[in-house]
Amino acid sequence: MHLKNASILVIDDDPDVLTSLSLLLKTEVKQVVVEKNPENLPSLLFSNQFDLVLLDMNFKSVINTGNEGFYWLNKIKKQKPDAEVIMITAYGDIDMAVRSLKEGAKDFVVKPWQNDKLIETIKEALKRKDNTLPGKSGLADFSISSELIGESDVMRDIFYKIEKIAPTDANILILGENGTGKDLIAKAIQLRSLRAQKPYVKVDVGALTDSLFESELFGHKKGAFTDAREDRMGRFELANGGTLFLDEIGNISLQQQSKLLSVLQNRQVTRLGSNDAVQVDIRLICATNVPLQELASESRFRKDLIYRINTVEITVPPLRNRGNDILMLANHFNKIYANKYLKPVLEFEKPAMDKLINYPFPGNVRELQYTIERAVIMSEGTILKAHDLIFSPIETQFLNEEKRELNLSKLEKNAIMQVIDKHGGNITRAAKELGLTRTALYRRLSKYDI
């Protein structure tokens, strides 16, 4: 449908938003109707034929949780199943906005929006309405690069989020276990950003000692220390104008965090051995395998730094939670290594596919990749059987250790519950019998959700 023939409904309880969108759209579309009270939605949908609805995620008239956005989205889809809905959200609500895509919204826009991008988003939604293909999403084949692929719901959410946040300059924190592909996510964001043609600099900060940290990130002047034989730019300066990716940031010391925070706040670096500050313009992406709840412990990581690096977070799921993505990735690596080693592309027998699906992959995508590479190298024919798949003994050992840890945790939880029951819920007496302080016992109660 051509934009000029479209009829659009805008629902938002902010009068400034309604005025702004009315002024923007009235010259672009056939009809624009604005409404402050979402309670009037059913009657408006009944008496009008709207091609598209712009719906706010939050309404100040009720508890501001974002759930009201989902409530009205579901109302719209129930009354008008073919309605195209674009959600209006803020940076802090991007996770909820991504969830809204699963619940029937076609897209979302982030406040404050750029008018030309909003118009393009509306055009795309109307185009999809006219050319809806079953089984397709806004991203062809549910892939976002030749390496970052998947069709599970969790990966679709990530792909949508990448497309939305990449063009902004928001700082991104990528969370996930080792081997899940956090570096691929960072690269995909950079390639879709407005800085795509600018430098992309990656640093494994978790591997830097205190003595190397400042020199590597901020640079040094000749003679600043024994081996400083010449002036050297740090990674911040090298990334100027582009993107800086700090990998394994959860492993840096509190002292290193303090120095990093100062640079991020002031957006300037001072080389070791110099008193002259240099301004830097970077888009920051960070990654860690440390869970956010552990990262939020003040004894481990500064909360003010977390807020600085975490405008938007992306949690990359472990491979075991991605369902049939395992087979999709296995076939992807199968083709890559067949080509690399001049072998025929293998055909997976059903037992082999079942073995892949049922294995928990503690090493995640990286472990799957090496497993398929070994299978291709060792293959004699064109059929891959279950016994041809040999998983890493290193990861198998990890699984056994993890299982023992779970068993110990279960024993500890049961012991705590028994002692608390014995003392009728008296925490002081229970802690004394267990040989713990009250604080330590409360921590365990929280840990085991008792």
Tell me, what DSSP letter sits at residue 26?
T
Other CB atoms closer than 10 Å to residue 234's CB: what's the count? Answer: 24
Query: What is the average per-residue pLDDT within 4-14?
Result: 91
Give the distance from CA 243 to its chain's centroid.
Answer: 17
From-to residues of CATH 3.40.50.2300 in the chain:
3-130
CB distance 431 to 441 below 8 Å = yes
Q: Which residue in the block uniquely carries the two structure tokens 């691929």?
A: 184
166-315 CATH, one of 3.40.50.10440, 3.30.70.2190, 3.40.50.300, 3.10.129.10: 3.40.50.300
The confidence band for 271, taking pLDDT boundaries of 50, 70 and 90, is very high
**Residue 102, pLDDT above cutoff 90:** no
Give CATH for domain 319-391.
1.10.8.60
**Residue 423, pLDDT above cutoff 90:** no
The confidence band for 160, taking pLDDT boundaries of 50, 70 and 90, is confident
pLDDT attached to residue 332? 93
What is the chain's Cα-based Rg?
Answer: 27
Q: 239 or 406, which is more confident?
A: 239
pLDDT attached to residue 135? 38
Tell me, what DSSP letter sits at residue 114?
P
Query: What is the average per-residue pLDDT within 236-255?
Result: 95
Bridge partners for 8 per DSSP: 32, 52
Class of the domain covering 3-130: alpha beta
Q: Looking at domain 395-447, which CATH architecture does it have?
A: Orthogonal Bundle (1.10)
Q: 159 or 128, which is more confident?
A: 159
pLDDT attached to residue 137? 40
Q: 435 or 333, which is more confident?
A: 333
Tell me, what DSSP letter sits at residue 290?
S
- Which pLDDT tens digit goes with each residue over 183-234? 999 999 999 999 999 999 999 998 898 878 999 999 988 887 877 788 889 9
Q: Looking at beta carbons, which pairs linking 262-271 to residues 24 or more positions away fall under 8 Å? A: 263/217, 263/218, 263/236, 264/305, 264/308, 264/309, 265/308, 269/217, 269/218, 269/219, 269/234, 269/236, 269/237, 270/218, 271/218, 271/219, 271/220, 271/221, 271/224, 271/231, 271/232, 271/233, 271/234
CB distance 234 to 219 below 8 Å = yes
Phi, psi angle pair for 164, to nearest 5°: -80, -40
Q: What is the DSSP string of 30-86?
A: SEEEEES-GGGHHHHHHH---SEEEEES--TTS--SSHHHHHHHHHHHHH-TT-EEE
pLDDT attached to residue 163? 85
**Residue 426, pLDDT above cutoff 80:** yes
CB-count exposure of residue 233 (10 Å: 0-12, 13-18, 19+): middle
pLDDT attached to residue 140? 37
From-to residues of CATH 1.10.8.60 in the chain:
319-391
The confidence band for 35, taking pLDDT boundaries of 50, 70 and 90, is very high
**Residue 316, pLDDT above cutoff 90:** yes
Query: What is the average per-residue pLDDT within 243-249?
Result: 96
Query: What is the average per-residue pLDDT within 328-347?
Result: 94
